[in-house]
Chain A
Amino acid sequence: MLILQPALALALAPGLVGLIRWLKARLQSRRGPPPWQPYAELRKLFGKEVVVAHSASWLFRAAPYLVFASAVVVTAILPLVLAPGALDGIGDLLVVVYLLLLGTFVLALAGLDPGTAFGGMGASREMTVAALAEPTVALAIFGLAIGAGSTNLGQIVLQTLRTPILAASPSHLLAFAALFIVMLAEAGRLPVDNPGTHLELTMIHEAMILEYSGRYLALIEWAAWLKLLIFFTLLANLFLPWGIATTFAPGALALACLALVAKLAVLGVILAILETRIAKLRLFRVPELLAVSFVLGLLAVTASFARV
Chain B
Amino acid sequence: MELTPFLLGLMFSGYGLGALGALLGGERAVGRWAAALGVMSGAGIGTMLGLVALTSRQHWSVGLPALLPPIGLFLRLDGLSGFFLLVVGLVGVAAALYSIGYTAHYAGRYALRRLGALLNLLLFALGLQLLADNALTFLLSWEIMSLSAYLLVLTEHDQPETVRAAVWYIVMTHAGFAALVAMFLLLAGGDLGASFSMMRVGAASASPELRTAVFLLALVGFGSKAGIVPLHVWLPLAHPVAPSHVSALMSGVVIKMGIYGLVRVLLDLLGGGPAWWGGVVLALGAVSALLGVLYALMEHDLKRLLAYHSVENIGIILIGIGAGLLFHSYGRMDLAALGMIAGLYHTINHAAFKGLLFLGAGSVLQATHTRNMEELGGLIKPMPWTAAWFLVGSAAISALPPLNGFASEWLVFQTLLGGFSVPALGVTLGMPVAVAMLALTSGLAAACFVKAFGITFLALPRSPEAAHAREAPRTMLLGMGLLALACVALGLAPFMVVPLLGDALAGMGGLPTTLPALTSGVTIQTPGLAGHMAAPLVALALALTLGFTLLGMRVAGVNRALRRSDAWGCGRIGQTARMEYTATSFAEPLRRIFAELYRPREDVTVDTHPDSRYFIQAMAYESAVSQLIERRLYEPLLRLVKFGSRQIRRLQSGSLHAYLLYMTVALAVLVLVAQWSW
Contact = CB atoms under 8 A, between A and B. Distances in A.
Interface residues of B, number: 83
A130 interface: yes
A138 B433 CA distance: 10
A121 B581 contact: yes
B340 interface: no
Contact of B435 (A58, A72, A101, A138): A138
Interface string B506-547: 000000000000000001000001111110011001100110
Contact of B400 (A105, A116, A125, A138): A105
A179 B541 CA distance: 26
A65 B550 contact: yes
A137 B439 contact: yes
Contacts of B561: 49-50, 214
Contacts of B593: 128, 132, 284, 287
B417 interface: yes
A161 B381 CA distance: 54
B581 A112 contact: yes
B563 interface: yes
B575 interface: yes
A87 interface: yes
B460 interface: yes
B295 interface: no
A268 interface: no
Given A69-B549, A114-B459, A210-B568, A120 B450 contact: no
Interface in A258-308: 283-284, 287, 294, 297-298, 301-302, 304-305, 308
B564 A52 contact: yes
B562 A92 contact: no
A109 to B, nearest CB: 5
Contact of A146 (B420, B440, B449): B420
Interface string B584-602: 0111111011000000000
A52 B429 contact: no
A227 interface: no
A124 B531 contact: no
B447 A68 contact: no
Nearest to A145: B529
B567 A116 contact: yes
A27 interface: no
B556 interface: yes
Interface string A44-80: 0011111111111111000001101110110010000
B189 interface: no
Given A53-B565, A115-B580, A215-B553, A127 B546 contact: no
B9 interface: no
B577 interface: yes
Given A65-B550, A117-B579, A112 B455 contact: yes
A194 interface: no
Given A65-B550, A124-B585, A151-B531, A49 B413 contact: no
Interface residue tally of chain A, by bracket? Answer: 35 or more
Interface string B435-453: 1111110111011011101
Given A46-B559, A124-B589, A134-B442, A72 B454 contact: no
Interface string B67-80: 00000000000000
Given A65-B546, A95-B401, A128-B590, A298 B413 contact: no
Contact of B563 (A52, A115, A137): A52
Contact of A101 (B446, B546, B560): B446
B35 interface: no
Nearest to A301: B432
A112 B459 contact: yes
A98 B586 CA distance: 22
A284 B566 CA distance: 32
A211 B450 contact: no
Contacts of B553: 46, 215
A24 B588 CA distance: 34
A138 B438 contact: yes
Contacts of A302: 429, 432
A145 B421 CA distance: 12
Contacts of A135: 435-437, 439-440, 443
Most buried by A among B398, B437, B568: B568
A131 interface: yes
Q: What is the predominant secondary structure among interface residues of chain A facing chain B?
A: helix
A102 to B, nearest CB: 5
A120 B538 contact: no
B86 interface: no
Nearest to A56: B567
B531 A150 contact: yes
Contacts of B577: 115
Interface in B86-139: none
Given A59-B458, A112-B450, A73 B545 contact: yes
Given A91-B538, A115-B459, A72 B549 contact: yes
Contacts of A137: 439
A99 B444 contact: no
Contacts of A305: 420, 428
A234 to B, nearest CB: 16
B399 interface: yes
A46 B558 contact: yes
Query: Which of B378, B439, B440, B579 is most buried by chain A, counting CB atoms within 10 A of its CB?
Result: B439
Contact of B530 (A50, A54, A105, A150): A150
A152 interface: yes
B400 A101 contact: yes
B152 interface: no
Nearest to B461: A115
A82 to B, nearest CB: 16
Contact of B538 (A73, A142, A155): A73
A145 B435 CA distance: 13
Contacts of A301: 432
B542 A52 contact: no
A85 to B, nearest CB: 12
B588 A124 contact: yes
B386 interface: no
B436 A47 contact: no
B556 A139 contact: no
Contacts of B560: 215
B450 A51 contact: no
B410 interface: yes
A143 to B, nearest CB: 9
B462 to A, nearest CB: 10
Contacts of A99: 401, 538
A243 B406 CA distance: 34
B380 interface: yes
Contact of A116 (B450, B537, B559, B568): B568
Contacts of B440: 131-132, 134-135
7 pairs of A and B residues whose beta carbons are closest in the complex:
A120-B581, A134-B443, A115-B459, A131-B443, A138-B439, A49-B561, A112-B454
Given A50-B559, A119-B581, 10 more contacts: A53-B565, A65-B550, A90-B533, A92-B532, A94-B531, A98-B400, A99-B401, A99-B538, A138-B436, A211-B567
23 contacts: A51-B563, A54-B566, A59-B458, A65-B550, A91-B537, A95-B538, A101-B399, A104-B446, A105-B450, A115-B567, A115-B575, A120-B454, A124-B585, A124-B586, A132-B593, A135-B443, A151-B414, A152-B530, A152-B531, A214-B561, A215-B560, A219-B549, A302-B429
